[in-house]
Structure 1
Amino acid sequence: MDRASLVKMWDDAWKEGLWAAPWSKSVEGLTAAQAAWQPEAAGAPGGMSAGKRHSIWQIVSHMCFWREYGLERARGGANRSEADVAANNWPQPATPTEEGWKALRERLARSQQAIGAAFADERVPLDRLKYVLGHDCYHMGQISVVRAMLGLAAIE
């Protein structure tokens, strides 16, 4: 895919949606408590439980981390340690606050702009960074499912 098409898809995903809810709207209208809620995956065949699933807060944190780390790597930054990746991959807030949730949504918006700018910058290699689009489509789908589990209306 050429850069211009990638930039357009990235921007459309945020603003209008790619045949799905716009990413910007997927994290709007949630309280910190809703964003931090973790669904329980119960009722599996044979009475098994798959345990807790990630909260919207964790999913957004995960997306931000991999966007930021992907940008670092694309710009020639070093690999992070396994311990650093593990600590930042799926963090759940110790105490979810409205201020913390707002800050995380703002971080997501900043990373959206930063990735879009990197996609447009001929100096930034796309060999790995381009895959953030598919990664984030997947996780935005997860967010939509968790929103539905919270009893929230679908985003149109």
Structure 2
Amino acid sequence: MDRLPLDFRTVLLHHLDYTFEKEAWQPSLAMALDGVTHAEALWKPAPQRHSIWQIVRHVTHWKQATLDAWTGVRPLFTVGQGETAYVSELERTDWAEVTGDAAAWQADVRALHAVSGEIRGRAAQLREADCLRPFPGEEMPLLLRVLRMATHDIYHAGQIQYLRALWRARTT
């Protein structure tokens, strides 16, 4: 049997595809969001819990921050010094309450798709050596930083699936 050509970029692209867009053993983040209504996106199972819409904004927030660090716009970390002030700002503005109409909800979903597409496009251009270089401002290899970000997608996809099940149970 011939061996499949497998390199770091291939593994990274596979993980990005199957955590955001395609179905593996579990639905991807995009699949979990497919068909979510405005009312469903706003709903919380309890006041102190997060809504689907908040999860979408949270994921978009951190993916954009990761992309910004990757492209040199704003670093998240400084080697030897830890988190930058930008991380504190991101944490402070994360998980804000959301309001808005159905158009605003759809705009946030499109923003998530857009940043995910930008990240995937950038990953597709990587060479093997790029994957092993430190992520900007960190000692961690770029490959691991982006894999962790993609794994964050599937974590929240599970939360969204659970919230959708609770939403359906509430209305039956």
With the shorter chain as reference, the TM-score category is: 0.7 to 0.9
Measure the CA separation in 2 of the matches of 1:130 and 1:5: 9
Aligned partners of 2:28 and 2:157 also within 8 Å: no
Match of 2:147 in 1: 130
Asked if the contact 2:28–2:154 (Cα under 8 Å) also holds between the matched residues in 1, the reply is no
Equivalent residue for 2:55, pick from 46, 53, 59: 59
Match of 1:45 in 2: none
- 2:14 pairs, out of 8, 15, 39, with 8
| Structure 1: distance between partners of 2:167 and 2:52 | 11
For 2:60 and 2:159, locate their aligned partners in 1 and report how far apart those are by CA, in whole Å.
15
* Alpha-carbon spacing, 1:81–1:141, altered in 2? closer, same or farther (3 Å): closer
**Shift in alpha-carbon separation, 1:81–1:15, aligned structure 2, 3 A:** closer
Q: Residues 28-82 of structure 1, C-alpha deviation per residue, up to 9 Å, x if partnerless? A: 2222121011112xxxxxxxxxx62110000010000110001111223234152
Structure 2 spans left out of the alignment, 5+ residues: 1-6, 77-85, 136-141
Matched, 1:78 2:95: no
Distance 2:157 2:69 in 1: 23
Secondary structure, counterpart of 1:52 in structure 2: coil
Higher relative contact order (CA 8 A, sep 6+): 2
Moved more, 53-62 or 117-126: 117-126
Cα contact 2:20–2:150 (8 A) shared by 1: no
Query: Contact 2:19–2:151 at 8 Å: present in 1 too?
Result: no
Aligned residue pairs total: 140
In structure 1, distance between residues paired with 2:159 and 2:24: 15
Q: Which blocks of at least 5 consecutive residues in structure 1 are unaligned?
A: 41-50
Q: TM-score with structure 2 length normalisation?
A: 0.72
| 1:12-41 per-position Cα deviation (integer Å, ceiling 9, x unaligned) | 33333231113222112222121011112x
Q: Output the amino acid matched with 1:78.
A: P
Find the partner of 1:28 among 28, 34, 37: 34
Query: Given the alignment of the two structures, is residue 102 of structure 1 paired with residue 102 of structure 2, yes or no?
Result: no
Checking the alignment, whether the CA contact within 8 Å between 1:13 and 1:23 is kept in structure 2 is yes
- Cα RMSD after superposing both structures: 2.1
